[in-house]
Amino acid sequence: MSEVEIHNQNQIFKGMLYFPPETFHKPYPLIIYFHGFPQLFALKEIVKDHQYLLDMGYSFLIFNFRGYRSSQGEVSITSQVEDSIKIIEFVIKMAERNVFNLNSVNLLAHDFGAYIALILSSKIKVLNRMLLISPIINLEKHAYHIDFSKSLRYINQFLPGNVKGIENIDAFIKKTKNELKNKSYQIKEVLKQLSCRSLRIIIGDSDKITPVNEITEIVQNSINNLDLIIIDNMDHEIIQEEEVEKIHEEIKNFFKY
């Protein structure tokens, strides 16, 4: 394992890079993990849950976007998109040193991280497989809903410092709405430009944040290569052990050679 620090606009966001066992040789295929909002879990805990990917021969790169936990800066759509591009630039440099296989750069993303992953895939051409778990799809709907401000108040009260830049809730919501006026962040425009070679979405049939019909109406009607997995009785938050096992099995199947 190596700690990673990436600089973006005089700010640092931090991550960790894990390599597969020594029986595997460079250049390694890579899986990059994009976390959700508000990112509750320590990076090491997420890696531990996905140890099997290392055992399959993948390197695993995980980090906190700027504004989350120990990374500097403040949260925004723009900052996370910029950070995701910086990550790809880092990966390309490592590929030039024969560390990563540039033909096998893959993304595993959860919740709001999945929204950022889709935007990234609309802007770059190097992504191979992309798997999204309980993705946020219709961000505009959430930004204009009263529950968004309630969620931000909850985070500020019970998770102080976990997400930076949301302390002034009204200002943050206004900024988010303004960002969504940018066509390159609007999901219907993003889906027209996707460049990943294959895409799988895993979602619960009881997801209240992103209902299944939102996936079928917005995503499935826009792209042809979507592999949609619907898990019975699963909500947006994945809490049952049986649900976790099903998701891990789908991840293994998707990323196997």
Per-residue pLDDT of 97-132, as tens digits, reads: 999 999 999 999 999 999 999 999 999 999 999 999
Domain boundaries of the chain, sorted by first residue: 2-138+185-255
H/E stretch holding 188 reads helix 187-191
Of the candidates 132, 120, 245, 101, the one whose C-alpha atom is nearest the C-alpha of residue 185 is: 120
Residue with tokens 């204009």: 144
Which pLDDT score is estimated for 41?
86
CB 175 within 8 A of CB 75: no
Structure tokens at 199: 């895409």
Quote the pLDDT of residue 152.
97
Cα separation, 108 vs 202, whole angstroms: 11
Q: What's domain 2-138+185-255's superfamily in CATH? A: Alpha/Beta hydrolase fold, catalytic domain (3.40.50.1820)
pLDDT < 50 stretches in the chain: none
Tokens of 192: 């027209």
The pLDDT of residue 59: 98
| The pLDDT value given to residue 246 | 96
Q: Report pLDDT for 213.
A: 95
